[in-house]
Amino acid sequence: MKTRISNTLFILLATLVTLSGCTTNYKYKIGVSQCVGGAWRDKANVEMLSAQHLYDNDVKVIIKNADNNNERQCLQIDSLVDEGVDLLVVSPNDYHALNGSLQRAREKNIPIVFFDRTTALKDYTAYIGGDNVEAGRKMAEYAVLLCRDSVKTDGRRPIVLEMTGPLAISPAAQRHAGFSEVISNNPSIDYRHLPSQWSYDDCKRIMREWLENGKAVDVVFCHSDLAAVGAYEAAKELHKEREIRFLGIDGLPGEGLDAVQNGQLAASYIYSTHGEEVIALALRILEGKPFKRTNNLKSIVVTPQNVADIALSSHSLQKQNTYLSTIQTKLETYLGFYHIQRALLIVSLLVILLLAVAVFTTWRAVRATRRANRRMRELNDEQTRFFTNASHQLRTPLTLIAGPVKQLAEGKGDRQQLVWASCSAT
């Protein structure tokens, strides 16, 4: 009995300890597959992680970074599907490479939301991000304005150079489409474009080679602020930065906004992150609420005229996001301690309950044992009395028979008379 109680107690305790480690049950798990890191995506990630605490839905956001590796991103998407995510947010690294993994996710009825970029897969649930074609158009319009009002060319046509990102990536292709559409409609501008790796170092290299070969350029448009600053640095090293206007896209605090304020860039375009809106869209999909399939985030061109106000607001929001993230991290830590303490309290109460049950069961077993012992003593007494009475009943006739038999054996008395006496005795 005691062994059985001990085994039951051990099993229950082991189960409770195991369950106490899983204190949070999330209603929805959202997997985010980012194609690469960087300041822009780090900002988006912080906003998405912050947004998961704004809803009473127990949302868990899981973010993975592929570092510009198609194979790694496919494996990460597969792992998110295997983890049982309810929805995928994907910023694809390549236009075609992810289709197999994404199709497997769709076969499991997992909604797919493209963020910032798209792929050749048409069976997706929604898109959210900046309007890259519009971004290209806006920067082209500003380039035309610069060529008309700020560029001095001594009679030649102004030269506008676009350093595109890899055109196999949807944002680069769309930005190029919007930019080239507007610039091409201005025959007074000499428009050139070159492919780049969409990086600081590569655009710096291209700019240096362009200038060292004696080629003139008046406006340089790169598909990111960081790349545009790289081109600016190359021109600065050759002492030609004052002759060229540099344009970028992203408008991040600490990067593009500072570059515009410092005079490195003539303009930038705020390519909104809005990670909180990504999570809001994901929840609308998961909860079966109405949603738009294409969600373009609005933005503006940052110029020297408006950069001070925009930078002030952006830096303030960035600090608030940082504070919020810190508070949420501490809150999660405290909640973790709370869940552990609650689990320990529950385990302690159940242990006390089990011990009480064990004590009660032991007490009942002792009582049953005592009753059994008492009954055994009673049975022994009854058996003793029975055998005592039986022996007494047998002793009298045996004594009466024993006398004549003894005399007969000794040859004393008349045999017939002794037999008769014995028979009479019986």
Q: Using CA atoms, how far apart are residues 346 and 343, in angstroms rounded to an integer? A: 5
Torsion of CA 145, 148, 154, 158, to 10 degrees: 50
Instruction: Provide the 10 A C-beta neighbour count for residue 44.
Output: 25
Amino acid in the structure at residue 225: D
Smallest Cα–Cα separation from 53: which of 90, 91, 24? 24
pLDDT in the model for residue 65 = 94
Question: Is the separation of the CB atoms in 268 and 223 below 8 Å?
Answer: no
pLDDT band at 11 (very low <50, low <70, confident <90, very high): low
Whether pLDDT at 9 is above 70: no
pLDDT in tens, 124-161: 999 999 999 999 999 999 999 999 887 777 778 999 99
Integer-rounded Cα radius of gyration of the chain? 46
The residue among 207 and 154 whose pLDDT is bigger is 207
Alpha helix (H) residue ranges in 39-189: 39-51, 70-82, 99-107, 132-149, 170-184
What would the two tokens of residue 407 be? 């005399």
pLDDT in the model for residue 272 = 87
For the segment 7-34, the average pLDDT, to the nearest whole number, is: 66
For the segment 72-100, the average pLDDT, to the nearest whole number, is: 93
pLDDT in tens, 215-264: 999 999 999 999 999 999 999 999 999 999 999 999 988 899 999 999 99
Output helix, strand, coil percentages for the chain, rounded to the nearest 5. 60, 15, 30
Q: Using CA atoms, how far apart are residues 252 and 254, in angstroms rounded to an integer? A: 6
For the segment 265-290, the average pLDDT, to the nearest whole number, is: 93
Local structure of residue 96 (DSSP, 8 states): S
Mean pLDDT estimate for the chain: 85
For the segment 104-120, the average pLDDT, to the nearest whole number, is: 93
pLDDT in tens, 318-329: 777 677 767 777
The residue among 95 and 400 whose pLDDT is bigger is 95
Question: Is the separation of the CB atoms in 55 and 28 below 8 Å?
Answer: no
Beta-bridge mates of residue 59: 28
Whether pLDDT at 418 is above 70: no
Q: Using CA atoms, how far apart are residues 407 and 206, in angstroms rounded to an integer? A: 146
Whether pLDDT at 23 is above 60: no
pLDDT band at 94 (very low <50, low <70, confident <90, very high): confident
pLDDT band at 270 (very low <50, low <70, confident <90, very high): very high
pLDDT in the model for residue 43 = 87
Q: Residue with structure tokens 């598909």?
A: 223
pLDDT in the model for residue 76 = 95
pLDDT in the model for residue 21 = 47
What would the two tokens of residue 144 be? 């035309």
What would the two tokens of residue 330 be? 């501490």
